[in-house]
Amino acid sequence: MLRILFAFCLTIVATTAQAELDIKQVTSPGGINAWVVEEPAIPFVALEIRIQGGGTLDLPGKRGATNLMAALLEEGSGDMTAQEFQTTLEDLAASFTFRAFDDSMQISARFLTENKEEVIALLRQALVAPRFDQDALDRVRAQVISGINSDAKSPNAIASSTFYAKAFGEHPYGSSIDGTIDSVTALTRDDMFEAHRNALVLDRLYVSVVGDTTAETVGAMLDDLLGDLPTEGPPLPDDVAFGLDGGITVVDFETPQSVAFFGQEGLERDDEDFFAAFVLNHILGAGGFESRLMTEVREKRGLTYGIGTSLVPKYHAEMILGSVASSNETIAEAIAVTRSEWERMARDGVTAQELEVAKTYLTGEYPLRFDGNADIASIMAGMQMIGLTPDYVVDRNSFVEAVTLEDVNRVAAELLQPDGLHFVVVGQPEGLESTQ
Amino acid sequence: MKRLFAALVMALSATASQAEEVTTYTLDNGMEVVVIEDNRAPVVVHMLWYKVGSADEPVGASGVAHFLEHLLFKATDVLESGEFSATVAANGGRDNAFTSYDYTAYFQRVAADRLELMMQMESNRMNNLRITAEDVETERQVVLEERNQRTENNPNALAREQFRAALFQNHRYGVPIIGWRHEMEELDLQDALGFYDLYYSPNNAILVVAGDVEPQEVLALAKQYYGVIPAEEQLPVRERPQEPPQRAERRITYVDARVSQPYLVRMYLAPERDPGAQREAAALVYLAELLGGSPFTSALGQALQFDTQTAIYTNASYNGQALDDGVFSFSIAPADGVSLSEAEAAMDEVVNAFLEAEIDPARMESIRTQLRASEIYALDDVQGLAQRYGAALSQSLTVADVQAWPDILQSVTAEDIKAVAAKVLNRDQSVTGWVVANQEEAR
């Protein structure tokens, strides 16, 4: 029987907007947990599934297997070839997304209420009975290899892949989830079945359902959909230290504008200082036009179209990352200004007024995110994956409000390392050379 | 990225019969007002669309429409430079703007009870901008870096610029929205102010407010803030140079060492959605789907990616959201070992075979169903609905045209598609572009 553990009407009270989100937590008869929001206004449903693991589960020598496997889930299953599967899906006017990320797999579906039974049966078939036909494997492999070749000539992709390789070496974080031309070329059907067996497992799976459905019916639906997946998968890899010291790495590439990808060690999502760091990062580089980096690098000096930073707490490592692009003649100045803002922030912290403005924005903006069934489903799946409970939706703004000036400035001094910041620059930057 | 610059803001929007709740007014000064009610969340999107875009720019000043868009975030008589966005942020909202060939739009997304403040600020910057020579110097660098980021650093964008310049022989759609670099470098305060003074006026604007609002309250606020701004008497009639009859196909090879995957593009001039006349455009939506929509079920995908391994990517697309001309195009990335000329010949063969064969009724029905469903999904995105109306109205369509479009799409027949295909797929009105890393690949 379906058990509804608890349901509560959450009112997110912000400075101005109040969003009401009635999240029901359910457990299916088969033991699958899900968060459900009933939203009958429009006759469709958004379903979001995340499974921890993703590309970190690639076996030695099989880099790119999880990514290729995910791309093949829509390429034939059960007794349907790729074309038969897609024809059926199109006739139902539904859409599926299957993607592998570094730490997770994402499975999303959007379907009309009237087609729910057929769509769930089709999605179940893709998830539990993929075919990995050789012709599909070869066709999609060629697409993946074309993408790898494109990345090799894209300044942005070169910058980030160089950065990650230097920071994480042999750990999966150190290489692209797409794999290399050699590793992808060598992948076989057996590798696909093995990657599938390892990545789609119940004990690391999180589900949310939003739209024209009821919590009472979700449990049975999920048992149908996912019940035949294996319970457990192989262990996840160990955590890895951020292994990149401060400095500059220049990668020569003939293009008019240099691209810089930069970062340093960060902090964990469940660190007690996370919210202080979150507010700090907002003021430094995440707050659009109002951020210090945007003000100094773009608005005052016209050195770039955009610069931004973000906290990136991954499952096995934590970083603060940023990027900026500027002409070959001016990138050195853009980097110098960025580094000096990093220093100023570490040394002087933020002002009381900056903190107040940041809090007002962050708390006011939060409820605006919950618009649209797919957005809400995605947020809720992400919350579950990092161990949050539904009441976080209500409490989150109070965590932001609780950050004090002392917190932010202590964290600025402790966390930001102007000398630990490493820039990978792709282009032909004037006046910049690699430091090591 | 902030201040995005949108070549195709709206993908082909589809259909719906249940429809959003829309109320419209026209203020005494000529400004149009569209209100879309959606009370699911206490949020509002406030958008102001000016019926002016890059295709309305004076000769020699390409990029000024987009440049001015950036400058609108500088000081006014009552707002300091940057204060507009800072105020939106301080109210927990987000703001942005975008420029296309036919329109320039500004929008904020905020809690519904902040609508009045948005109107107050947006109406203020319609007439009271106080930009300085220094603003112009710095912001010109920013837009040049934007061009670097979007175009100069991207061989595909550079190639596309060349192809469009060749497709349009007389129309300003052949000039990039962001501008040609040499003209952007010369843009000055007078260019920006001249454009601003002429085009930023209530009789050239459409207000779209979507979300948790009451239409009568929106109208009262619109009257209070926008209704008091006098109409621009000198506003020119919107007549832009049109295409002459095109008599010869054009072929271009764009060579750039940064290209990793050779590919080819064929663009044709095509009819756009016109007021009271959207049938051909609707048929072209089907034609694009049938020829190159889904790689699994379209003619090009099946023939070149499944029946043979000629291509790793195939696509057909149609953009009929334009004031003047639409564009219908194909793109093919050949498989390893297949030359561009072989891929192009294979593409033409598929298209010719399609024109001669019967259209599969099952495929027609499937596309019809998907278009109907996309209209239901569209209701989940209130900002998307706001964009749909803003873009259409700034491109001469009416609210009635927007609302008729889903039913017109549903009524398209195989005969309509055959007729429009015969008309549009005419090589004399086309550009074929090859994109390669070196001359050896151009074979």
Task: Give how far B312 is from chain A: nearest CA, Å.
Answer: 6
Contacts of B337 (CB under 8 A, 6+ apart): none
- Mean pLDDT for B206-222 is 97
* A chain contacts of residue B73, beta-carbon cutoff 8 Å: 289
Beta strand A205-211 with A257-265 is unpaired
Q: Please state the φ and ψ torsions of residue A268, each to the nearest 5 degrees.
A: -75, 155
Listed as own residue / partner, the contacts of A402-406 with beta carbons closer than 8 Å and 24 or more positions apart are: A402/A275, A403/A275, A403/A276, A403/A279, A403/A355, A403/A359, A405/A349, A405/A350, A405/A352, A405/A355
> How big, in percent rounded to 5, are the helix, strand and coil portions of chain A?
45, 25, 30
Task: Give how far B257 is from chain A: nearest CA, Å.
Answer: 9
* pLDDT for the residue numbered A15: 45
* pLDDT one-digit tens code per residue, B146-175: 999 999 999 999 999 999 999 999 999 999
Confidence of residue B270 (pLDDT cuts 50, 70, 90): very high
DSSP state of A113: G
Of A289, A152, A377, A414, whose CA–CA distance to B437 is shortest? A152
* B chain contacts of residue A152, beta-carbon cutoff 8 Å: 260
* pLDDT for the residue numbered B323: 97
User: A353 touching B, CB under 8 A?
Assistant: no
Task: Give how far A432 is from chain B: nearest CA, Å.
Answer: 19
- Mean pLDDT for A258-279 is 97
Mean pLDDT, chain B, whole residue set: 94
Q: Say if residue B98's pLDDT is above 60.
A: yes
Enzyme catalytic residues of B? 69
- Mean pLDDT for A57-61 is 96
* B443, two tokens: 């074979």
Helices vs strands, H then E, count in chain A:
15, 14
* A chain contacts of residue B94, beta-carbon cutoff 8 Å: 288, 365, 368
* B chain contacts of residue A371, beta-carbon cutoff 8 Å: 40-41, 43, 382
* Residue in chain B nearest A76 by alpha carbon: B296
* pLDDT one-digit tens code per residue, B300-340: 999 999 999 999 999 999 999 999 999 999 999 999 999 99
Record: contact B111-A16, CB cut-off 8 A? yes
Which residues pair with residue A37 across a beta bridge?
A23, A210
User: A16 touching B, CB under 8 A?
Assistant: yes
* pLDDT for the residue numbered B41: 86
* A54, two tokens: 């993703």
- Mean pLDDT for A300-319 is 97
Continuous H helices in B102-214 = 115-127, 133-147, 155-167, 181-184, 189-199
Please count the other Cβ atoms lying within 10 Å of the Cβ belonging to residue B39: 12
Q: How far apart are CA B93 and CA A368, in angstroms?
A: 8
Q: Please state the φ and ψ torsions of residue A128, each to the nearest 5 degrees.
A: -105, -20
Record: contact A142-B138, CB cut-off 8 A? no
* pLDDT for the residue numbered A11: 52
Task: Give how far A169 is from chain B: nearest CA, Å.
Answer: 26
* Residue in chain A nearest B365 by alpha carbon: A91
- Mean pLDDT for B141-149 is 97
* Residue in chain A nearest B373 by alpha carbon: A93
Record: contact B312-A143, CB cut-off 8 A? yes
Q: How far apart are CA B193 and CA B64, in angstroms?
A: 10
Token look-up 């589960």 returns A57
* pLDDT one-digit tens code per residue, B347-376: 999 999 999 999 999 999 999 999 999 999
Q: How far apart are CA B267 and CA B428, in angstroms?
A: 11
Q: Say if residue B252's pLDDT is above 50.
A: yes
* pLDDT one-digit tens code per residue, A382-403: 999 999 999 999 999 999 999 9
Record: contact A93-B370, CB cut-off 8 A? yes
* pLDDT one-digit tens code per residue, A110-141: 999 999 999 999 999 999 999 999 999 999 99
Buried b (16+ CB within 10 A) or exposed e, A109-139: bbbbeebbeebbebbbbbbbebbbbeebbeb
* pLDDT one-digit tens code per residue, A356-377: 999 999 999 998 988 899 999 9
Contacts of A395 (CB under 8 A, 6+ apart): none
Task: Give how far A127 is from chain B: nearest CA, Å.
Answer: 19
Record: contact B369-A91, CB cut-off 8 A? yes
Q: Output the CA–CA distances (angstroms, integers) from residue A323 to A80, A320, B429, in the order listed.
A: 44, 11, 42
Contacts of A277 (CB under 8 A, 6+ apart): A266, A267, A271, A311, A411, A415
- Mean pLDDT for B287-295 is 97
Q: Say if residue B10's pLDDT is above 80.
A: no
User: A149 touching B, CB under 8 A?
Assistant: yes
* pLDDT for the residue numbered B21: 87
Percentage of residues in chain A with pLDDT exceeding 90?
92
- Mean pLDDT for B101-105 is 98
Q: How far apart are CA A110 and CA A96, in angstroms?
A: 7
DSSP state of B428: G
* A chain contacts of residue B114, beta-carbon cutoff 8 Å: 16
Percentage of residues in chain B with pLDDT exceeding 90?
94
* pLDDT for the residue numbered B20: 78
User: A372 touching B, CB under 8 A?
Assistant: yes
Report the amino acid identity of residue A356.
E
User: A90 touching B, CB under 8 A?
Assistant: yes
Q: How far apart are CA B155 and CA B259, in angstroms?
A: 6
* A chain contacts of residue B306, beta-carbon cutoff 8 Å: 82-83, 139
